[in-house]
Structure 1
Amino acid sequence: MTGPAVSFVVPAKDERATLPTTLASMRGQRTDRDYEIVVVDGDSADATPAVARRYDATVVSQGDEAADGGPNSDARERVGPDIGDARHRGARRAEGDWLAFVDADTALRPDYLDSMLAFAREEGLAAASSRCRVTGPVRAKAMEAVINRVFPRLDRPILPGFNCFVRRETYFEAGGFPNVPNEDTAFSRELGRERATGYHPDVLVETSGRRIAESGLTGTLYHYLRLDWHRLRSDY
Structure 2
Amino acid sequence: MSALMWITVGSLAAWVWLLLGQGFFWRTDVRLPERADPGQWPAVAVVVPARDEAAVLPSSLPSLLAQDYPGRAEVFLVDDGSTDGTGALARSLAREHGGLPLTVDSPGEPGPGWTGKLWAVRHGMALARARTDAEYLLLTDADIAHAPDSLRELVAAARSADVDLVSQMARLRVASPWERLVIPAFVYFFAQLYPFRWVNRPGARTAAAAGGCVLLRREAAERAGVPDSIRQAVIDDVALARAVKRSGGRIWLGLADRVDSVRPYPGLGELWRMVSRSAYAQLRHQPLLLAGTVAGLAVLYLAPPVAVVAGAVAGAALPLALGAGAWAVMTGTYLPMLRYYRQPLRLAPLLPLTALLYLLMTVDSAVQHYRGRGAAWKGRTYARPETTP
Relative to the length of structure 2, the TM-score reads 0.51
The C-alpha deviation readout for 1:166-197, integer Å capped at 9, x for no partner, is 01111122111222211221111111122110
More strand by share: 1
Cα displacement (A) at 1:209: 5.5
CA distance in structure 2 between the aligned counterparts of 1:16 and 1:214, rounded to whole angstroms: 22
Q: Which has the larger radius of gyration?
A: 2
Q: Aligned in 2, Cα 1:195/1:118: closer, same or farther, shift over 3 Å?
A: same
For the structure 1 residues 82 and 227, does the alpha-carbon distance in structure 2 shift closer, same or farther, using more than 3 Å as the test? farther
Which of 108, 113, 119 is equivalent to 2:157? 119
Task: Say if 1:186 and 1:231, in contact at 8 Å, map to a contact too.
Answer: no
Q: What is the aligned partner in structure 2 of residue 72 from structure 1?
A: none
| 8 A contact 2:80–2:109 mirrored in 1 | no
Cα distance, 1:63–1:214 mapped onto 2, change above 3 Å? farther
From 259, 262, 281, the equivalent of 1:227 is 281
Partners in 2 of 1:49 and 1:219 — Cα distance?
A: 25
1:173-232 CA-to-partner distances (Å, cap 9, x unmatched) read 211122221122111111112211003566531114546845365554332222334589
Report if the CA contact (8 A) 1:11-1:103 is conserved: yes
**Residue 249 of structure 2: aligned partner:** 195
Q: 1:18 to 1:119 in 2, by over 3 A?
A: same
Number of the residue aligned with 1:89:
123
Asked if 1 retains the 8 angstrom alpha-carbon contact of 2:81 and 2:109, the reply is no
Is the Cα–Cα contact under 8 Å of residues 131 and 202 in structure 1 kept in the other structure? yes
- Among candidates 172, 181, 185, match of residue 238 of structure 2: 185
Instruction: Tell me how far 1:10 sits from its aligned partner.
Output: 0.5
Q: Following TM superposition, by how much is the alpha carbon of 1:120 offset from its aligned partner in structure 2, in angstroms? A: 0.4
Q: What secondary structure sits across from 1:135 in the alignment?
A: coil
Is residue 63–residue 145 contact of structure 2 (8 Å, CA) maintained in 1? yes
Q: What amino acid is aligned across from residue 83 of structure 1 in structure 2? A: K
Q: Which 5+ residue runs of structure 1 have no aligned equivalent?
A: 66-76
Counterpart amino acid of 2:125? A
1:6 match: 44
Does 1:152 pair with 2:204? no
Q: Alignment partner of 1:128: what SS?
A: strand
Distance 1:84 1:230, change over 3 A: farther
Q: 1:23 to 1:209 in 2, by over 3 A?
A: closer
- Supply the AA of the counterpart residue of 2:196: P
Please state if 1:205 is matched with 2:246: no
1:222 partner letter: S
Provide closer, same or farther for how the CA distance between residues 231 and 160 of structure 1 changes in structure 2, counting only shifts above 3 A. Answer: farther
1 CA distance for matches of 2:126 and 2:257? Answer: 27
Contact 1:134 1:140 in 2 (8 A): yes
Checking the alignment, whether the CA contact within 8 Å between 2:44 and 2:136 is kept in structure 1 is: yes
Equivalent pair of 1:28/1:110 in contact (CA under 8 Å):
yes
TM-score scaled by length of structure 1: 0.81
Asked if the contact 1:115–1:203 (Cα under 8 Å) also holds between the matched residues in 2, the reply is no
Deviations 1:18-56 (A, max 9, x none): 112221111221222211000111111121111222315
Quick one: structure 1 residues 206 and 39, their matched pair in 2 at CA, closer, same or farther if it must change by over 3 Å?
Answer: same
State the superposition RMSD in angstroms. 2.7
- Whether contact under 8 Å (2:169, 2:210) holds in the other structure is no
Q: 2:223 aligns with which of 173, 183, 198?
A: 173
How far has the Cα of 1:108 moved from its partner?
0.6
Consecutive unaligned residues of structure 2, counting only runs of 5 or more, are 1-41, 95-100, 287-383
Amino acid at match of 1:10: V
Identity rate, percent = 27
Whether 2:185 is the aligned partner of 1:142: answer: yes
The answer to whether the 8 A contact 1:116-1:203 is kept is no
Question: Could you say which residue in structure 1 is the equivalent of 2:73?
Answer: 35
Amino acid in the other structure paired with 1:28: A
In the alignment, the residues of structure 1 paired with residue 239 and residue 250 of structure 2 have an alpha-carbon distance, to the nearest angstrom, of 16
1:55-106, CA deviations, whole angstroms, 9 ceiling, x for partnerless residues?
15211212089xxxxxxxxxxx764551111112111111321100110111
Deviates more, 1:4-13 or 1:144-153: 144-153
